[in-house]
Structure 1
């Protein structure tokens, strides 16, 4: 049947023409254009993925990251800075980022670092500062056409970029770097940029105002410091400011009003990191989806039923099981979403 339909499509397009083909053939160009491309929009809910989920994969290039995304079945992403900026020619870093993120995460969670770990983190931070200066100089001379080419490469593969997260929006970044990050996001086709909430009202106000100037929304990400009114000041400062809400961290912080938060802030939620974490009473663990305490079914159904427009972004943070890899685990997360949204 599939072979017969393929033959009929080719015949109708090549001989008779789409205009006089049967009714079911009127969509043939779209069928061909989207053939074998990923689709993670499920019953009206755009399930996406942050490319941070693939941090354990050896190759972090633009091309390899695209393969991870498409193999996972994802058609829309929050893009970390690395793949796009390296594609655009940013100087390569020699920093052990996996170790850096590991130690930073341990410190952020309040876990005690050993003497050796404290020394190693200090050295990595020093390297990071030196590298930051090199990157700042490169960014000041960047040609945004490379980001447009990146966007086209991903679009041709069926992947859109709804958010961009380069390390360009911190308090240590200049206004020129912030503007660079927003312009790069625009070239990539993103609707918003994301960053960790700086816990600084002056900075969120500046970012909001610059977002207005550059017509780019700014999503603030939170960890376990998130509360029901965590974003209120930033939201009041500028219409460009919004939430890059993290549902898993919110549950791990012990809050029980997540559904009320989604209902209240849905118009200002730009994207939502989605993971399955435990409550404090159960240990706060990051678990394979379906094993934790995050109300995934209820959240996804709310987004579907109320037609909320923000994407649910898969963020793979649980330990990848032996014999598996990040791509397979993102596939599992996506499949879990499909089952919940049937």
Structure 2
């Protein structure tokens, strides 16, 4: 029989021909599958929702993790160097918006993504210990109205018990997002903090693994993914240096982006890889284009 290269094998796999060529004992083995390269819309925080959607279309993005800042009022978003008076005004505006929100507004956002041919893979909600019960439940109602069964959140370990109540009620999985704040035990940053966040809770409480922050905190993203992939609903792709190093362009840091993407591909795990652009580049769309190209190049290896 002719020896097949990777490109020929992938083509046969996608057409179903490969299954006819294999003994039955081998058909059950994992088959390399395409990896969904999506986008965390926080990457496009420099523009409003409609412009962000246009940018995603131009980049060929088909799967999106929708940042709450593209749903809530733009003028209520946190900004660096805001004064205490500005922050109070933004807080009051956001509270007013949440108190009067109609789900028809969220359905309209869902329809914009559907028209653009972009799947909303998850909704990124802001959930902290101080959140009210009304606002906490509202995050799940928004996710449901957007048509997704997943929420990602930079929450705290201590709030997850409250989160789990609504996760079970609405049957929506929640991925805890990590940063690199290992000096703050109530923040998600380490394998231990993830374990504490899930301890005693339902299977709806899962992980949104940011492999850049995980690397900056000096943990091994590849080893963690191998052991905990069933609990990971999506990853964030960014590049950082170890030892709390900075965000840098993809390929210039210590984050094992290629090995992580190939591990997902080769095992056929249904884990979207969402690019989160945070380093200081030039034009946002052009930088994202470079990020996508880098991920694709790593998947060709």
TM-score range, shorter chain: 0.7 to 0.9
- Does the alignment pair 1:128 with 2:87? yes
Unaligned runs of 5+ in 1: 1-41, 87-91, 101-120
Structure 1 distance, partners of 2:280, 2:255, is 17
Q: CA deviation at 1:43?
A: 5.0
- Does the alignment pair 1:327 with 2:285? yes
Q: CA deviation at 1:287?
A: 1.4
Counterpart in the other structure of 1:99 = 80
Structure 2 length-normalised TM = 0.80
Contact 2:262 2:299 in 1 (8 A): yes
Unaligned runs of 5+ in 2: 1-31, 183-188
SS of the counterpart of 1:140?
helix
Counterpart in the other structure of 2:262 = 301
Number of residue pairs matched? 261
Counterpart in the other structure of 2:65 = 78
Contact 2:178 2:190 in 1 (8 A): no
Match for 2:218 among 216, 237, 254? 254
- Per mean C-alpha deviation after superposition, the further-off stretch among 176-185 and 187-196 is 187-196
Counterpart in the other structure of 1:104 = none
SS of the counterpart of 1:230?
helix
Point out 4+ residue stretches in structure 1 off by more than 6 angstroms: none
- Does the alignment pair 1:314 with 2:275? yes
Structure 1 distance, partners of 2:266, 2:287, is 27
Q: CA deviation at 1:228?
A: 2.3
Q: CA deviation at 1:133?
A: 3.5
CA-based RMSD of the aligned residues comes to: 2.0
Q: CA deviation at 1:130?
A: 4.2
Match for 1:291 among 225, 236, 252? 252
- Does the alignment pair 1:219 with 2:182? no
Contact 1:221 1:246 in 2 (8 A): yes
After superposition, the C-alpha distances for 1:166-215 in whole angstroms (9 at most, x for unaligned) are: 33x22222111111111111111222112213132xx1111012111122
Structure 1 distance, partners of 2:102, 2:57, is 27
After superposition, the C-alpha distances for 1:142-184 in whole angstroms (9 at most, x for unaligned) are: 22122112112111211111111233x2222211111111111
Contact 2:72 2:94 in 1 (8 A): no
Counterpart in the other structure of 1:64 = 51
Structure 2 distance, partners of 1:152, 1:64, is 15
After superposition, the C-alpha distances for 1:61-80 in whole angstroms (9 at most, x for unaligned) are: x2111012112221111111
